[in-house]
Chains A and B, each alone.
Chain A
Amino acid sequence: MYVKQISVFLENKSGRLAEVTSVLGKHEIDISALSIADTTDFGILRLIVNKPDLALQVLKENGFTVSATDVIAIAVEDKPGGLAKVLDILYKNDIGIEYMYAFVGKVADEALVILKVENAEEAVNILKENGVKILSADEVYSL
């Protein structure tokens, strides 16, 4: 039910992002989504890739501080108000969002969103009850 996200600690200096992507490229790892959260001094790069375990290993080997986190991938209707509907469900059920980012979808009429919430299990149940489409890890990795 969860998708494994790879998070990488990056100092804010030029070239670091390029190094991450080049390490992944060398190992034939495909990135399907990414987001960067940054402060003045450092950033956290969050990645959804097709081979998360391998990505974790090769990034560690190359000296990066890396962790794996379970996140939820959902599909929303690709039309105005589509995302609002889902966020409203979470809000009404008092589920706080740590962070979220959208993701390049290859499915027509659907926009894909990655969500990190405080209580993942509860969130998944509520989203399911409300008919929100949740993507499995396999579906996401093969995108």
Chain B
Amino acid sequence: MRYWDEHMECMDRSTLQEIQLKRLIETVKRVYTSVPYYRNKMQKLGLIPEDIKDLNDLQKLPFTTKQDLRDNYPYGLFAVPLSEIVRIHASSGTTGKPTVVGYTKHDIGIWSEVMARTLVAAGADKHSFVQIAYGYGLFTGGLGVHYGAERIGASVIPISSGNTKRQIQLMVDFGTTLLACTPSYALYLAETMEEMGVDKSQLKLKSGVFRAEPWSENMRKEIESKLNIKAYDIYGLSEIIGPGVAYECEYQCGMHINEDHFLPEIINPETGEVLGEGEYGELVFTTITKEGLPLIRYRTRDITALHYEKCRCGRTFVRMEKVIGRTDDMIIIRGVNVFPSQIESVLLELGEVEPHYQLIVDRVNNLDVLEVLVEVSERMFSDEVKKLEQLEKKITKAIEDTLGISVKVRLVEPKTIERSEGKAKRVIDRRKI
């Protein structure tokens, strides 16, 4: 089974656009009548729902940001009576008030559907054993993948995150065929397997869907070789629906966005101007089928580019490139935009280091300094100081060549950079500005 819903996933684009326009018009009407926040915003711009006549009119609509969700905490942007909300999820709220999202029964159905497409594209079917090592609970990762896996009739192993040794034991004993977790946790699992003396040949694992943090093409190769699987990138965010917003097919050439539910745009994050195909900018989504919390032009802060040509897999859905960074994770060092993923690629390309690194940004005498901590692996260790110093220089030069700014590389002992079962903390910004 290659597709979950061939009719939708491979629909010709003009028919798809008709569906999108019809759904967009309905959504705009719905938020105008049911969400005072959107009505006020549109009125300020002198807009009425009837002004939306074709897909290009989307650009007339106002943006929604994470701050707007916080300002309307908890339920201010919901478009249905709370009695129709059957599920609440929320972000952790580490950077402020949590972002609360709500789903109607119909929304949960859509979510299961887009996640089913995602898992089928990653090789799953009703015979699969899907081990879900994303956290369950208010975080959308666990339950999102769970409902999708149930929709296709796979056997779900809802282990949630943590308990690493037990994860591996169950993977062996239960014959897990598909693993869902963050990419850094996948590597941590592989590392722990080695320590436990479990060989990848003991696993029935065939593929995995990984996300919830940025990861590079090289990290994919590491995961694929260490676990002997095909590693698929998936994409989602709770504000839009959770995992399942976009998914990779077997050609791994970008993630197909479930465009019959989510309308994507790429904008210049500074000016808000809509950019063309292939141009890098901030990804913006308008949900066109959601009932509980429809969002208009929601700014994801993720930086990527879109490609519209038909994929070799037969799907017509637009493909988004791997996210190269975030407008808010992006660190600006002496005026240069730096994404942790760039450093990760450099380290992996050198082939001598495990991707355990951390960036420390500080300001010394009014000058930004970037320090890169890299864990020394056995493979790169030498009993000679000069060889380690050469390695340090090689890493420094490779990073400087890529970023175009000077950095200080410091080799540190293994396992001293904090491991995470969720998102790896890659940047520590100590600048006091």
Q: Which residues of A contact B270 (CB under 8 A)?
A: none
Tell whether, in the assembled complex, residue B382 and residue A67 are in contact, meaning their CB atoms are under 8 Å apart.
Answer: yes
Q: How far is the CB of A2 from chain B (nearest CB, A)?
A: 13
Q: Determine if B384 and A99 form an interchain contact, defined as CB atoms under 8 angstroms apart.
A: yes
With both chains docked as a complex, state the minimum distance between the C-beta of B371 and any C-beta of chain A, in angstroms.
10
Q: How far is the CA of A72 from the CA of B326 in the complex (A)?
A: 54
User: What is the 8 Å Cβ interface bit string for chain A, positions 64-76, against chain B (1 contact, 0 not)?
Assistant: 1111010000000
Residues of B within 8 A of A11 (CB): 411-413, 416
How many Å lie between the Cα of A27 and that of B300 in the bound state? 54
CA separation between A38 and B389, bound complex, in Å?
11
Q: Give bound CA distance, A63 to B378, whole Å.
A: 11
Minimal beta-carbon separation of B266 from chain A (angstroms): 42
Does B383 reach chain A (CB closer than 8 Å)? yes
B388 and A44 contacting across the interface, CB-CB below 8 Å: yes
Give the chain A neighbours of B388 by CB distance below 8 A: 9, 39, 42, 44
B385 touches A65 (CB 8 A): no
In the complex, the answer to whether B383 meets A41 with C-beta atoms within 8 Å is: no
Interface residues of A in 1-26 (CB under 8 A from B): 5, 7, 9-11, 16
A9-B413, A11-B413 known; A67+B384 contact, CB < 8 A: no
- Chain B positions 393 through 415: 1 when the CB is less than 8 Å from some CB of chain A, otherwise 0: 00000000000000000111111
* Pairwise interchain contact A65-B416, C-beta atoms closer than 8 A: no
The chain A residue sitting closest to B412, CB to CB, is A11
- Residues 222 to 272 of chain B near chain A (Cβ within 8 Å): none
Q: How far is the CA of A104 from the CA of B92 in the complex (A)?
A: 58
Interface of B is mostly: loop
B377 at the interface (CB under 8 A from A): yes
Task: Please determine whether A10 and B413 come into contact, CB atoms closer than 8 angstroms.
Answer: yes
B376 contacts A65, CB within 8 Å? Answer: yes
Contact A64–B383 (Cβ < 8 Å): no
What is the distance, in angstroms, from A96's C-beta to the closest C-beta of chain B?
12
Among the listed B378, B389, B411, which residue makes an inter-chain contact with A66, where contact means beta carbons less than 8 Å apart?
Answer: B378
Report chain A residues within 8 Å CB of B413. Answer: 9-11, 16, 63-65
Nearest residue, chain A, Cβ from B382: A67
Which chain B residue shows the least CB distance to A42? B411
The A-contacting residues of B in range 407-433, CB under 8 angstroms, are 410-416
The answer on a CB contact under 8 Å between A44 and B383 is yes
What distance in Å separates the Cβ of A34 from its nearest Cβ neighbour in chain B?
13
Q: Is A108 part of the binding interface, using a Cβ–Cβ cutoff of 8 Å?
A: no
A59 to chain B, nearest CB (A): 11
What is the bound-complex CA distance between A39 and B389, given in angstroms? 9
Least Cβ–Cβ distance between B303 and chain A, in angstroms:
33
Of B383, B411, B412, which one neighbours A5 at CB under 8 angstroms? B383
Within 8 Å of chain A (Cβ to Cβ): is B381? yes
B377→A65 contact, CB < 8 A: yes
Which residue on chain B has the smallest CB distance to residue A71?
B383
User: 16 A–B contact pairs at CB < 8 A?
Assistant: A7-B381, A7-B382, A7-B383, A9-B381, A9-B388, A9-B413, A11-B416, A37-B385, A38-B385, A44-B383, A44-B384, A44-B385, A44-B388, A66-B378, A67-B383, A116-B383
**Residues of chain B whose beta carbon lies under 8 Å from any beta carbon of chain A:** 376-378, 381-385, 388-389, 410-416
